[in-house]
Amino acid sequence: MKASLQENTPIQGFTTLSSIAVMVGIVVGIGIFRLPPIVASNSANEFQFISFWIAGGFISLMGALCYAELASSKPDAGGEYHFLSRAFGPPIGFLFTWGRMTVIQTGSLALIAFILGDYAALILDIGPHSSAVYAALTIIILTGLNLFGTTPSRRIQNLLTGLIIVMMILLSLSGLISAESLPELSESNTNSGWSLFSGGSAGAAMIFVLLTYGGWNEAAYLSGELQDVKRNMMKVLLFGILIITFIYVLINSAYLRVLGLESLQNSETVGADLANQIFGPEGTIIVTFIVVATALSTANATIITGARTNYALGRDFSLLSFLGKWNSKNNTPVNALIVQGVIALLLVGLGAWSQEAVTTMVDYTAPVFWLFLLLTTATLFIFRFRQGKKELPFRVPLYPLTPILFLIACGYMLYSSLAFTGSGALVGVAILAVGVPVYLLARNREG
């Protein structure tokens, strides 16, 4: 292992507010404009539908409480990599970071960029590969912004996240208010009642609900740069989850109120359908602008946190030492950002040849993501055993019940991501497996 120099380490430049902005910016993404109809299709009635979104917030909150204890007691720019390495040893930590660099983060970045490209092409179509071109430009421009420095990228993130929250709330409230003056919904749209336990498929619905909530764990990667991390990490995760849950419940209530359950189940562009009902034909332009802004926010936040893990890997293993260079002047991991951008661009290139680029990227990332979320949560039990009764900055409420419940949720999602996804999942797992010989090579070089 290599020791890091003082001038090669992150500066604590993230405030509680800017960290919440990164977290919310990652989570509140394009999923809320694509996945609610699938959740509705697995809901027997309106009450079930809304309950699923509340349950998603509750499950995410349990996970966030676990991460709050981990990140506040063991702050590090490597986030989950740091926890896994300390708990299970360097092999698991290395394998996680390899998977994050080649599958989880870069695959998510390519996915977000592709969806942005789909909507940007509605404004200006530049040919048969418009989505891929816009996706590549998004990755290049935002990576360049982060190379310029953490401060400008953080300020852009704060601006985008604030804009998105305002737009989401205004769109939701406009829907709820205008619903009073819209024509009565047909009987077929309202006859499903409000019983929580009649019909529906909770398991299938929660797969997509939790996918929409995914990304709150990224706050852990800011623990090495968060001011007064031992006191503020819990605030970041708690308030972040509460804001996200509020936005999701509000906008899904607007979907129900304006469209009705049956129309929601049959919608392919639910955000555009909502805006068209409220604003008329101009609604499509409004939603396209919101989705593009949301995707930019999510992509920028993903780039910020993803490069931190790559930096930690290079900091600790001499084979990949070029990743562990921290530019103190701009407070940014330059080489880690460049490598992340190149891999994401390669995935965009591959996706351009696929007819279902978005679905392929979801399949590619899901199993690896849920595997390591489960393992990271399990580290909480190992650290508690090692620490004994040592005083901690924050302790998970209702331990061990809270982490056990979240582990069960992670296990179910891991099973679902392998059982109900396509060949992209197998490719992601195969790329993760390549990390084993790479680790052996890195270890031999260290030894």
Separation between Cα atoms, residue 433 and residue 58, nearest integer Å: 33
Separation between Cα atoms, residue 59 and residue 38, nearest integer Å: 19
| pLDDT single digits (tens) 195-236 | 444 455 776 788 788 888 988 887 776 777 777 777 788 888
Q: What pTM does this model have?
A: 0.77
Among residues 212, 170, 203, which one has the least CA distance to residue 27?
Answer: 212
Separation between Cα atoms, residue 245 and residue 80, nearest integer Å: 23
196 three-class SS? coil
Contacts of 232 (CB under 8 A, 6+ apart): 16, 19, 226
The partner residues of 14 in beta bridges, in order of sequence, read 226
Cα dihedral: 246, 226, 326, 435 (round 10): -60
Among residues 127, 132, 97, which one has the least CA distance to residue 114?
Answer: 132
Give the type of residue at 261. Answer: L
Q: Which domains does the chain have, with CATH numbers?
A: 6-446 (1.20.1740.10)
Separation between Cα atoms, residue 312 and residue 79, nearest integer Å: 9
Burial of residue 12 (CB within 10 Å: 0-12, 13-18, 19+) is: middle
| pLDDT single digits (tens) 237-280 | 889 899 999 999 999 999 998 888 888 888 877 877 888 888 88
Q: Is residue 60 within 8 Å of residue 241, measured between CB atoms?
A: yes
Distances (CA, A) of 192 to 39, 52, 279: 15, 16, 27
Q: pLDDT 10s digit of each residue in the chain, 447 long?
A: 444 444 556 666 678 888 888 788 778 877 788 788 888 988 888 889 999 999 999 999 999 899 989 988 888 767 788 899 999 999 999 999 899 889 888 888 888 888 788 778 877 888 777 888 999 999 999 999 888 877 777 778 778 778 878 888 888 888 888 766 554 444 444 444 444 444 557 767 887 888 889 888 877 767 777 777 777 888 888 898 999 999 999 999 999 988 888 888 888 778 778 888 888 877 778 778 888 888 888 888 888 878 888 888 888 888 888 888 887 777 788 899 999 999 999 888 877 776 566 667 777 888 898 899 999 999 999 999 998 778 888 889 899 999 999 999 899 888 887 876 666 778 888 999 999 999 999 888 776
